[in-house]
A = this chain, B = another copy of it.
Amino acid sequence: MKALIQDTIERCRAAGLRRTKALEELIRTLLENGRPMTLAELATSEHLADQCDKATVFRLLQRLAEHGIIRRLGLHERAAYFTLLVPGKHSDYLICTGCGTIESIKAPCPVHALEDEIREKTGYRNLYHELEFFGVCPKCA
C-alpha cells in the first residue's frame, strides 16, 4: 500500500504537481478507502480535515482529474440526469467528453450474466445496472 501511495505521488510529480502535504493526504485517503468518494467526504476525513481547506481539496481533485490521475464519475455535468424506464428495454450510453453528447447504444448489453452472478453471490435485491462509455467523438477530436 505504501508503495502504491508513493507511486501515485510520483505520477503527480511527473505531471508537474508539487509535493504538498495536502496532496499526499488526499492520495492516501483515496487509496486507503479504495472506493469513490465525494468532495465533502474527503474534506472532512480524519487526515485531511485539519490539514487543509475544502477549496484546496476541490482544486486538487480538479488538477488531478486534468492529469488523468483521478476521475470524476458520472455524466460529467453538474446537473442530475433523468431517463424514462420503458419496460423490457435497457439502454447503455456513449457520451462525448468533449461536447457532452449522449447517445444510446443499440448493441446488446454484455452485462446481464454478471448481473445474475452478483445477484446470487451478494444477495442484493432489485438489482439493475448502468453502463456508460466515455470518449471523444470524431467531431471533437
Contact = CB atoms under 8 A, between A and B. Distances in A.
Residue with the highest number of chain B CB atoms closer than 10 Å, among A37, A40, A80: A80
B107 A131 contact: no
A121 B123 CA distance: 37
Contacts of A107: 114, 117-118
A93 B30 CA distance: 15
A115 interface: yes
A122 B102 contact: no
Given A73-B75, A130-B134, A94 B81 contact: no
29 contacts: A4-B86, A35-B83, A35-B103, A37-B82, A38-B77, A38-B80, A39-B82, A42-B82, A61-B82, A69-B85, A70-B83, A73-B80, A73-B82, A73-B130, A74-B74, A74-B130, A78-B80, A94-B122, A107-B114, A115-B133, A122-B137, A124-B138, A126-B135, A127-B133, A128-B133, A128-B135, A130-B132, A130-B134, A131-B131
Interface of A: 4, 8, 27, 30-31, 34-40, 42, 61, 65, 68-75, 77-86, 93-94, 96-97, 102-105, 107, 110-111, 113-115, 117-119, 122-138, 141
Given A71-B83, A94-B122, A94-B124, 7 more contacts: A35-B102, A35-B104, A39-B79, A70-B83, A110-B111, A128-B134, A128-B135
